Structure 1
Amino acid sequence: MILSTSVTNLGKKRFKKTVISYTLITIFFFAFSRIYEAFSFGETSVYMHYLFTVPLVGGIILAILLKVLPYFSRISLNLWNSAVAIITTGTLFRGIVNLSGRSTTLDAPYWYVGIGFVILALLSIVINPIRLKKNVRTVEV
């Protein structure tokens, strides 16, 4: 069996840090959205109410990818985190606008850029293993 021990240890640390970070972010946005809606004078917004699901789903997908792919690159992780942050910001913006009783299309760029980052992250996941096969030193166990 061929393993790279340093990559394996890095993967475990990265997985643990990712799970903890996304869990805390999800809890924060759940509490934030409920408190914000409580002070909105009876107005409701689906975007604000389900704001916490964006980091929750993004974190679950990322955790699965980190478990399945042992050589998950840093650029893929950064692109994925950026995509989740951009989509979360767009959802928050739309929720705040809806709770104010208005409507706008100014949140559209958030969706387009967020989806673009998701596509870039997925492409970097597919392309990176080809490059890594040439650069990773392996140790036989």
Structure 2
Amino acid sequence: MFTSVTKKSASKHFFTYIGLTIFSLIFTFVYERFSYGESSMFMRMMFFAPLAGAMIYLLTGMGMSWVRNRASKLLFNSAIAVVASACLVKGIVEVSGRTTSVDMPYWYVASGLFFLSLITGIIRPKKLA
């Protein structure tokens, strides 16, 4: 079974993440437009998560990334999704005028997924004879 991330797959993921970055920017603009003048730095910086994903897939297309197999790709995509969700949750809570620590587990899970992505992308299984 061959599961490496090819250049075509990396470019597809790159453009998907660019689209998500643009969507995040538009979502933040519209959400803050209707929030009666309140804003949140977490929501404003939410677009950095998919932008970082796009940059990693750009490097993957050039062969300079650890995202080389299916497991590392799925773990990396999950880490980016969790970071974006954490920013969204924290941003919504801050715009509503409250404080909470409900976003802390998101950051721990995202760190764990990112670390596992690095491990599975760097360590290569032994080939069977």
TM-score w.r.t. length of structure 2: 0.88
- The structure carrying a bigger helix percent of its residues is 1
CA distance in 2, matches of 1:121, 1:97: 29
Indicate the structure whose relative CO is greater, using CA pairs within 8 Å and at least 6 residues apart.
1
Superposition pairs of residues 4-15 of structure 1, within 5 angstroms: 11-15=6-10
**Structure 1 gaps, min length 5:** 1-5, 136-141
Deviating above 6 A after TM superposition, structure 1's stretches of 4 or more consecutive aligned residues are: none
Q: Work out which of the two has the higher radius of gyration on C-alpha atoms and give 1 or 2.
A: 1
Amino acid at match of 1:54: A
Is the CA contact (8 Å cut-off) linking 1:15 and 1:67 kept in structure 2? Answer: no
Partner of 2:57: 62
Pair 1:117-2:107 in alignment: no
Question: Would you say how many aligned residue pairs link Structure 1 and Structure 2?
Answer: 127
Pair 1:90-2:86 in alignment: yes
Partner of 2:17: 22
Q: Following TM superposition, by how much is the alpha carbon of 1:59 offset from its aligned partner in structure 2, in angstroms?
A: 2.0
CA distance in 2, matches of 1:26, 1:61: 14
Identity of aligned residues (%): 37
Partner of 2:70: 74
**Structure 2 gaps, min length 5:** none
Partner of 1:43: 38
